[in-house]
Amino acid sequence: MSPTLVGIIGIIALFTLIFFRMPVGFLMALIGFVGFGYIVNFDAALNLLAKDFVSVFGSYSLTVIPLFVFMGQLAFHSGISSRLFDAAYKFIGHRPGGLAIATIGACAGFSAICGSTNATAATMAAATLPEMKRYNYKPELATGVVAAGGSLGILIPPSVIFIVYGIMTGQSIGKLFLAGVFPGILLTVLFIMSIVIWTRLRPDLGPPGPRATLKEKIASLSGLVEMIIIFVLVMGGLFGGMFTPTEAGAIGAFTTLVVAIAKKHLTWDGFVGALFETTRISCMILIIVAGATVFGHFLAISRIPYDIANWISSFQLPPAVIMGFIIAVYFVGGCFIDSLALIMLTIPIFYPVVLEFGYDPIWFGVIIVLITQIGVITPPVGVNVYVVSGVARDVPLTVIFKGVIPMLIALIITTFLLIPFPQIALFLPGLMR
């Protein structure tokens, strides 16, 4: 068998076996290990396996993941996220669907200190679903909004996917973060428009709540102080050049911890809960990164990425068609595979092609984040939908998937706006020189 054929079998095996419940990271490592062993030899594959695991686990750049996850977890366990929601509610809760809009606003705010889509969805689900239920919001609106709101977590910096993409492609993480800001704001606005239109069509979904007095409104803002301090420090420090992304994660976690303790918002149990969630989520992510690294090395030795790049360019199709093809792959892939795993699987294949056609790598990073965020809320595998259903145990999965549809439209519009108008993403990083 030629290495290329082995590589193709490996890819097919991965996309088939993935449906049989083997953890994604384990499966990628296993297929990579077996495939590499078949093409080269067993001893080399064994060495590859150990080296790849050790180098991913011990990568300085990747320690940014546990640190930012810890920061988000501390924010959740010290109630910063729920106070954020309270404030947003005081301002717009009296409108139809106002609570849902407040949830999106809170998601956007929380995104600014949390780098993970699942973590944002989980955090905001825990904080806002009980509130929306209390005000007689229909579960499809409530859960749909939270599941989709998680995508802001990944688009508005900091963002785990941008970090992984930056590391894999050598692009500046700082620039990628900046590139996500305007698309994130645009998406927030479109999410809100979706909610407004949807609740106008079906007012029973989100009945208006009581109007808060001006005094109450102002009082609620005090709950935002902590979040603003942390955001200004972390993002200001990161873009003002005081520290690297990893350092920003550490400083952010430390500040959140200090603020939460100082304001007596964090119990010992909350602290331990935050820590254990952090190790679990980090381990889950890094196992996938390590597995994808082994699998990537297997693909490299099979020379498939080179073959595919040559093959695609040999057709001499217009770049737009090829970009359309790549987007379609991400869209379909995102329906089945976790976005992080999908990006790590495909970047080695598509990134060189995208570069060859002269597309901006930063813009491409934003595009695939958007497309994969469509993936995290579409069936059959919608990780965020699963996360939300884990919190709202009484709501059937189908109801959540239904509730996600209007939000999905907003995501698709954002993606398609970015294709003719790449400046939406590239304007801010362009200022960075």
Q: Does 246 bind another protein (CB under 8 A)?
A: yes
Q: Is 413 in the site for another protein (CB under 8 A)?
A: no
Q: Is 353 in the site for another protein (CB under 8 A)?
A: no
- Report CA torsion sign: 131, 132, 133, 136: positive
Q: Name the residue nearer to another protein (CB basis): 199 or 372.
A: 372
Q: Give residues in contact with Na ion (CB under 5 A).
A: 111, 115, 153, 156, 159, 335, 375, 378, 381-382
Site string for another protein, 366-405 (x = CB under 8 A): --------------xx-x----------------------
Q: Which stretch binds another protein (CB under 8 A): 14-22, 103-111, 123-131, 146-154?
A: 14-22
Q: Does 310 bind another protein (CB under 8 A)?
A: yes
Residue 49 contact partner, candidates another protein, Na ion, none, CB within 5 to 8 A by sort of partner? another protein
Distance CA 320, CA 333 (A): 20
Of 33 and 177, the one with the shorter C-beta distance to Na ion is 177
Q: How far is the CB of 224 from another protein (least distance, A)?
A: 24
Identity of residue 383: V
Q: How far is the CB of 42 from Na ion (least distance, A)?
A: 36
Q: Which does 378 bind (CB under 5 to 8 A by kind): another protein, Na ion, none?
A: Na ion
Q: Which of 267, 279, 398, 423 touches another protein by CB under 8 A?
A: 279
Rule CB under 8 A: is residue 358 a binding residue for another protein? no
Partner whose footprint covers residue 283, from another protein, Na ion, none (CB < 5 to 8 Å by kind)? another protein
From 76-84, 151-159, 216-224, 298-306, span contacting another protein (CB under 8 A): 298-306
Alpha-carbon distance 248 to 157, whole Å? 12
Q: How far is the CB of 57 from another protein (least distance, A)?
A: 4
Binders of another protein in range 259-278 (CB under 8 A):
272, 275-276, 278
From the list Na ion, another protein, none, which binds 279 (C-beta under 5 to 8 Å, kind-based)? another protein
Taking the least distance from each CB to Na ion, the nearer of 34 and 405 is 405
Q: Which stretch binds another protein (CB under 8 A): 54-62, 180-188, 326-334, 419-427?
A: 54-62
Q: Please report, as residue ranges, which positions from 159 to 198 form the binding site for another protein (by CB under 8 A).
A: 170, 172, 174
- Comparing CB distances to another protein, the nearer of 261 and 419 is 261
Which CB sits closer to another protein, 49 or 266? 49
With CB cut-offs between 5 and 8 Å by kind, which of another protein, Na ion, none does residue 156 bind? Answer: Na ion
Query: Applying CB under 8 A, does 242 fall inside the site for another protein?
Result: yes
Sign of CA dihedral 174, 224, 187, 124: positive
